[in-house]
Each structure stands twice: as C-alpha cells, then as structure tokens.
Chain A
Amino acid sequence: MTATYERVVYKNPSEHHYMKVCLEFQEHSTGLTAAQFKQLLVLALKDLFGEVGAALPLDVLTYEEKSLSAILRIGSSGLAKLWSSLTLLGSYKGKKCAFRVIQVSPFLLALSGNSRELVLD
C-alpha cells in the first residue's frame, strides 16, 4: 500500500528588512536626537532618490544616542535604495560622517546575535 505524501511549501518573503547601523562622525563629540537621526535618513534618501525615495516606509525601531547606533526597518522593495543612500551619505550639517552597516536580515530576531562578534573560547 503506497502512502500519499503531500508537501506544503509556504513562500513568505518577509515584507520588511531590518538593518543594524551605526553612524560615525569625524568629530566624535557630535550628538543627535532620535528625530534628527530620522531626518538624516530621510534626507539621504531624498538626495539620491527624490521625493519618491523620501516617502519609502522607513522606521527607526531603536536608537541609542550614546553610540549613535540604530535598528531600522524598511519595506523589502526599498532595501537596495536605503542601503545605497546610506552608503553615499557624506555629511550632515557640514560635519563629515559615515554610516556603518553592521547587520542586515529579513528577520528581526537575527539581529539579536551577531556571528561576526562571536568569541569562541
């Protein structure tokens, strides 16, 4: 007697992508509030991709003012646009800065552990 097998495959491409980023200024003493940080991101998108880019559904989930690091959420279709505009952002209000992208993942849980910073005893 042959058993019939049924294979169910769920294709759920994640709607959002999560990025862990860190902002580095040339003068390390510069501080930014959360609102200013978001404005900086939108400004970067607007510069490279115009009004359409600036209107992408972007969220800052967490922000640490001391280390200037944040976790961002963007719709999956806008990941390439966001990442490229972060790469090309050179300065904020005349001060030179650069974005360091630490981790990118379609799942938020994956950002809790970073295998690059794993220390093996």
Chain B
Amino acid sequence: MVRFKHRYLLCEVVSDDSRCRLSLDDRVLVGLVRDTIARVHGTFGAAACSVGFAVRYLNAYTGIVLLRCRKEFYQLLWSALPFITYLENKGHRYPCFFNTLHVGGTIRTCQKFLIQYNRRQLLILLQKCTDEGEREAIQKAVTRSSLLEEEESAEEELSDSAGEATEATE
C-alpha cells in the first residue's frame, strides 16, 4: 500500500568493439547514466532519477544490464538511454549503444523475460553459426535449455495444482 514502486529496465549494451563489454563496470555505468540524464533532462531529471537509481545486475560477457528507477520517473531514464554513445574506461573510449529489451515492475519478471530472450538468441546463434565446434557447443546448450524449460513448466503445473489443492482444502 505505502511502498516505493520501481521500474526495472533490462538493457543490452551493443558495440562493435569486443573490449567494450568487458570494460563494463558498476561505477562507470552509474556515472555515465547520471551524466547523460543531467545533459538530457537537466538538474531536475538528474535529481529525480538519482533517488531510486541502482544497477541491479551486470553481465560483462553478454552485455546485459538491469537498471532500477522510481516508477514516477522511469520515462526520463528510458528516454535518456539512446543518448549514451560511448563507454569510457581508463582513458579509452568505446562507442556503443544501449538497447532496451524489457521494462518490468519486479526483478523476477525481468529475469523470466531474460531467460526466454536468451533461449531465442541461442536458436538465432545456431542458425548463424559457421564454425563446426561452435555449432556443437551451441547445440548442447540449446538441448540443455529446452530440458530445463520442460522441467520449469512441469514445476509450475505442480505448484499450480498444489496451490489449487490447498485452496480447495481451505
């Protein structure tokens, strides 16, 4: 009833340079986003978005970032993301851009989306793959993930039916 509501923005850092993603750092990202919002939305935007702002998840290998923002001001943050054009680390500038994949109200929904998204990306990778060794590795990953998917859906059905049974007994 009386709690602060947040929006979680799931973004992907896309860059030509392979070193760009590896140089993704928590503090670098926070500073960069804050500066960009200050440039695009001024003092008001910087203050509004900084209150509940946090980087909740960061994956340097895939370039996936999860940003948190207060619900009232998430659009200021979302509209400022396309203005980020480079990542600066130790004096090196890597041009990149932020691709927003999903906006969710909780970390759990973003995680669910990310799992589905990764599955689809694996299949796309499989199609585009040229190297035989890579193809085998991706094939294994795809079969593993589809097995996990079946397990997950079975678990959900079980927990649903268990929930229904408990509701019926109550």
Contact = CB atoms under 8 A, between A and B. Distances in A.
Interface stretch (A4-12, A25-33, A50-58, A97-105): A50-58
B40 interface: yes
Contacts of B40: 50-52
Interface stretch (A14-22, A41-49, A66-74, A112-120): A41-49
Q: Say whether chain A's binding surface is mostly helix, strand, loop, or mixed.
A: helix
B56 interface: no
A46 to B, nearest CB: 7
B39 to A, nearest CB: 6
B135 to A, nearest CB: 46
Contacts of B44: 48-50
Nearest to A49: B42
Contacts of A47: 42-43
23 contacts: A46-B42, A47-B42, A47-B43, A48-B42, A48-B43, A48-B44, A49-B43, A49-B44, A49-B45, A50-B37, A50-B38, A50-B40, A50-B41, A50-B42, A50-B44, A50-B45, A51-B39, A51-B41, A52-B40, A52-B42, A52-B45, A53-B41, A53-B42
Contacts of B39: 50-51
B90 to A, nearest CB: 28
Given A47-B42, A52-B42, 11 more contacts: A45-B42, A49-B42, A49-B43, A49-B44, A49-B45, A50-B39, A50-B44, A50-B45, A51-B39, A51-B41, A53-B41
Contacts of A48: 42-44
Contacts of A46: 42
Interface in B64-98: 79
B143 to A, nearest CB: 48
Nearest to B83: A51
Contacts of B38: 50
B82 to A, nearest CB: 12
A73 B169 CA distance: 67
Contacts of B45: 49-50, 52
Interface in B34-68: 37-45
A40 to B, nearest CB: 16
